[in-house]
Structure 1
Amino acid sequence: MTTSPDSYGANDQRAQLEALYAVMAPKGLLPLWESLHALVLAEPKSPALPWRWGYAEVRDYLMRAGDIISAEQAERRVLIMENPGLPGLSAITPSLYAGLQLILPGEVAPCHRHTQNALRFVMEGGGAFTALDGEKAIMQPFDLVLTPAGQWHDHGNETGHPMIWLDGLDIPTVRLFDCSFAERLDVAAHPETVPAGDTLARYGHNMRPLRGSVADRRPATRPLFHYRYTDWRSALEAMAASAEIDPHLGHALEFLNPADGGPILSTMSAHVRLLPSGFETRTRQATDGTVFVLVEGEATLLLGDQEIRLGARDMVVVPSWRPYRFQAHSQTIIFGYSDKASQMKLDLYRECNH
């Protein structure tokens, strides 16, 4: 067998390139032409995997942890929901974090603040609180409570039963930009500044204190931080009773920042859906990988040939650009949060309905 002159030339070129790469590497230089195909993709190919966390199982592990370590010792007693496709990153998608937090009766999770934005979706228990800058939000199941970046917050449970909620944070996003700051208050709980529910009274009725008045005490860009289940559920039910159903989303409402009508946080968006019994959504895909909680009912999440059965309080993640649809086996209520807010600011967001 003979080797053509062209083959000799190709082999010689490769050897020269490899020699050049070896000299450049210690200088922090790499050839783009060797990796361009992997850096600029034709479409998203997320390393995250679709994954379900059954609430009952996670709750059992969380309660066992509660027997061993206190909220004060842990600062935040949380089980991280790490995506198996993102090992070692404490991330549920490349840009988002998720975890289940437990506060037992009589405990206080100490007051701190940080660069990261956070949302809390209550899974179990009622009557415990998240305090934001000294104002308590008394939490009930399926309430949504925000702790925006830079605001002091602590959690406490003065009831006789455990309190569990889903934490959603933009930790991986902040890590990407290398801009994390955090500090702890020198006392466990922030001194109370106003009565519980004060913000809802001032800002929660499509009204606000007149700008410049002494009553206008919340940050101008993000005044509201407590979205009650009783409010959003009745709004969703009213919509379902009169509105035409969207074939890809079901009946869906997005949580809004009343200051500007935009997403609830600067980096994260959240919404709820109602799917009537027997309803199956059409296939949809979007660039915002989304964490879903099945609030009520039974449903199956379909991703190509993969079927994920979901019951009440189960949690599941759908990675970026993964086509999916839901089948509702009974009336189903779903909560979801994603990094859509970040993507829209950066002109990155895209969706496709089939």
Structure 2
Amino acid sequence: MSPLHLTPLWEVLHALVPPRPASPCVPALWKYEQVRPFLMRAGEAITAEEAVRRVLILENPALRGQSAITQSLYAGLQLILPGEVAPSHRHTQSALRFIVEGTGAYTAVDGERTTMRPGDFIITPSWTWHDHGSDASEPVVWLDGLDIPMIRFFDAGFAQNDAQASQAVSKREGTSFARYGHNMAPVRHDAPFGTTSPIFSYPYERSREALHTLERDAPVDDWDGVKLRYLNPLTGGSPMPTMATFMQRLPAGFSGKPYRQTDGAVFSVVEGEGTVEVEHAGERTTFSFGPRDHFVIPSWHTSRFASGRGCVLFSYSDRPVHQALGIHQEERIT
């Protein structure tokens, strides 16, 4: 059979259709205090223009060499220094930026700039021109989250460099938020970025206020604390067709119940401290995290959060794809 490229199904059936999800990924934690010196060294070794994007990739320990934090998601920490420009380009991959350190850099998308501040969530829609620059007096670092492995699976990756380093600014900062960010939309409009949210900057100030208000005035969930998902205001769905994004607050003294889900998730610690216990196939790992740390919980790994002093976590996953395919599963364990 082998010369005809044939293989007996019965020899591989159990691996192809397992009784439960069997991700090759492992949980992992990146402490910011350990990562930051390497980012700063990268700033000395290469410019943003030379690198195009000066990023240190967060690779899952079980997927080294694949530029992936899960089998469908990419994560990296990007650094831009005062006065630099990361040149304009576009690609089919959707991207998110979550600001980790520093204020005063900017991202430009489709002719509109937005200033970056810690805790802000910013979108780069698929196939839109975008560049980054800095008018700050300090380094600025953000988390890049992309669907690179997913697009690679479909052999659908394209990229194009712009003829100029920075795109021409044609809209005032805040224009997209004014149009779509107040539970209102223009009477006559088309979705400017297709299935991606027309708001490309979600400021942390508003997210934080919502979380603290709900913590004070509404019941706290036994598994998630206070957890909200970001929305595409035109559809009510996820901000991007391939990635969902979330912000959650674990109140002081929180001791959560365990849960697991088929969408693996990447977390960025915004503020505060806590622990997460991750269990899979009889192996248990506990991470203690603090501000600006990052960690990944793979598919169908049971996780349990706790926080003595309270904390805020940003996360993203490939949940919209699971939901579109009708394969998303979640189990909240009591």
Q: With structure 1 as the length reference, what TM-score do the two structures score?
A: 0.91
1:264 maps to 2:239: yes
Counterpart contact for 2:267–2:316, Cα < 8 Å: yes
Which residue of 277, 281, 284 corresponds with 1:302?
277
Consecutive unaligned residues in structure 2, runs of 5 or more: none
CA distance in 2 between counterparts of 1:296 and 1:318 reads 19
Counterpart amino acid of residue 139 in structure 1: M
Which residue of 157, 171, 181 corresponds with 1:204?
181
Counterpart contact for 1:129–1:155, Cα < 8 Å: yes
Q: Identity rate of aligned residues, in percent?
A: 49
Q: CA RMSD in A?
A: 1.1
Instruction: Report the alpha carbon displacement of residue 198 of structure 1 after superposing the two structures with TM.
Output: 1.1
Match of 1:6 in 2: none
Superposed counterparts of 1:54-73, under 5 Å: 54-73=31-50
Instruction: Report the alpha carbon displacement of residue 28 of structure 1 after superposing the two structures with TM.
Output: 2.1
Higher strand share: 2
DSSP-derived class of the 1:324 partner? strand
Superposed counterparts of 1:1-354, under 5 Å: 24-212=1-189, 218-219=192-193, 221=195, 222-304=197-279, 305-354=284-333
Counterpart contact for 2:125–2:193, Cα < 8 Å: no
DSSP-derived class of the 2:128 partner? coil
Counterpart amino acid of residue 292 in structure 1: F
CA distance in 1 between counterparts of 2:37 and 2:321 reads 34
Counterpart amino acid of residue 206 in structure 2: D
Counterpart contact for 1:111–1:152, Cα < 8 Å: yes
Greater C-alpha radius of gyration: 1
The aligned length equals 328
CA distance in 2 between counterparts of 1:244 and 1:217 reads 35
CA distance in 2 between counterparts of 1:345 and 1:217 reads 20
CA distance in 2 between counterparts of 1:209 and 1:220 reads 16
Counterpart contact for 1:49–1:83, Cα < 8 Å: yes
> Residue deviations 1:98-125, cap 9 Å, x none?
0000010010001011010000000011
> Residue deviations 1:293-341, cap 9 Å, x none?
1211111111233211111111110000000101102111111100001
CA distance in 1 between counterparts of 2:155 and 2:14 reads 26
CA distance in 2 between counterparts of 1:166 and 1:276 reads 24
Counterpart contact for 1:297–1:329, Cα < 8 Å: no
CA distance in 2 between counterparts of 1:26 and 1:167 reads 44
Q: With structure 2 as the length reference, what TM-score do the two structures score?
A: 0.96
Consecutive unaligned residues in structure 1, runs of 5 or more: 1-23
Counterpart amino acid of residue 274 in structure 1: R
Counterpart amino acid of residue 49 in structure 1: V
Instruction: Report the alpha carbon displacement of residue 351 of structure 1 after superposing the two structures with TM.
Output: 0.2
My pick for the range that moved more, 74-83 or 294-303, is 294-303
CA distance in 2 between counterparts of 1:103 and 1:42 reads 46
Q: Cα distance 1:217–1:90, how it changes in 2: closer, same or farther (>3 A)?
A: closer
